[in-house]
Structure 1
């Protein structure tokens, strides 16, 4: 299995000197997801000077062929996971439309940093690498992006809120709600209108809004 390539724009983070060598050595021991070609996809598609929104997930989907390295995102041919179905349902209520498939690369290319708090997982074993130290990368990446501009944080559920606790500043937008999982979506996720709220904030700053209804296919076309 080839070695993952560290994205040049983020390579100065202390994580890549101090923590990544040890994690990389452990990853060589067996197959893992999303694999070396996609493990840093979120950082590759959204460099620090382009990041405008931070949206955190937990870890990649553990089903082979589903995860594409972006939080909540799946490969275009994959049926929507339940949480993503709820995200799209809320988006339709909020904006009137949603992407045609589950690939969120189009968001990432517009400045939505779609980071999982763990960037690797074992097939069929959700959370297997949750305590490997990936969380250090998340906090460092967020702080690096904050050095460029104010950010909008979309924090769904206690896990995401804890992952960046203490990092949002007064000039940042913070939208917190329940997680879109079927277990919790009706406890405050539905009706939270995060997509229009982020776009209203961006417009007020003189920035272009995110076109949330795009997918990788429509962006490429």
Structure 2
């Protein structure tokens, strides 16, 4: 994991936010923590924490899907929420995402486990924490990442072009206020998390939510059409 190298590749539209965060107490605390953990021999994923900001420029963002934590297994996290690299077996939440794509839009497997094609079309696949240690979920939570990712969510919402925000699970839904405060021009879609623990449960099961078709239809009406093909 190389934080400096990953920062250097970020699209310029995100740069003012990143520079302000790096200079802030939260940013300095997080950078010191990462340096300390790396020196202690911790294995930190993903190798490119800011990949979502490289692949999806602020000005081109049409959809924001908010995750919580990168995958903590070897070879899984690739800097995009819910996504894993080609050749890696899809984790359970991603398998349920594919089930809903098939149910909602008729997409047939095999589908790529990497969602990088979405990112390149304007789907910002943002985790609230951008790093994690091997085998230790949420190990980098409340260390300073959230100050940055909350600011990124607000920045996307404050851009005047209409966007879709997909908030799956209670953690993501807690950010709805950041989006609503920016104005009524966006579509906020909320459902349970695609995890097997909640994907089929009330109040809004992920399987059956129809978010992909709802987003595609709404964006087409705004003149900002997007494809969910993988």
- After superposition, give the CA deviation of every residue in 1:102-144 in whole Å (9 maximum; x if it has no partner): 1000011111110001000000000001111211212211222
Instruction: Name the SS for the 1:74 alignment partner.
Output: coil
Shift of 1:164: 4.2
**Matched ranges for 1:87-102 at <5 A:** 87-97=97-107, 100-102=111-113
TM-score normalised by the chain length of structure 1: 0.90
Pairing partner for 1:104 from 109, 115, 120: 115
Corresponding residue of 1:12: 16
Cα RMSD (Å) of the superposition?
A: 1.6
In structure 2, distance between residues paired with 1:5 and 1:97? 33
Q: Which runs of 5+ in 1 are unaligned?
A: 215-221
Alignment of 1:132 with 2:143, yes or no, is yes
In structure 2, distance between residues paired with 1:119 and 1:163? 16
Corresponding residue of 2:32: 25
Q: Which runs of 5+ in 2 are unaligned?
A: none
In structure 1, distance between residues paired with 2:6 and 2:77? 18
Corresponding residue of 1:146: 157
Instruction: Name the SS for the 1:100 alignment partner.
Output: coil
- Structure with greater helix share of residues: 2
Corresponding residue of 2:131: 120
Pairing partner for 1:48 from 58, 68, 84: 58
Count the aligned residue pairs. 211
In structure 1, distance between residues paired with 2:32 and 2:178? 31
Shift of 1:173: 0.2
Instruction: Name the SS for the 2:219 alignment partner.
Output: helix
TM-score normalised by the chain length of structure 2: 0.86
Shift of 1:71: 0.3
In structure 1, distance between residues paired with 2:14 and 2:139? 25
Corresponding residue of 2:75: 65
Moved over 4 A (4+): none
In structure 2, distance between residues paired with 1:118 and 1:137? 9
Contact 2:169/2:191 (<8 A) preserved: yes
In structure 2, distance between residues paired with 1:173 and 1:164? 11
In structure 2, distance between residues paired with 1:197 and 1:21? 40
Pairing partner for 1:177 from 185, 191, 194: 191
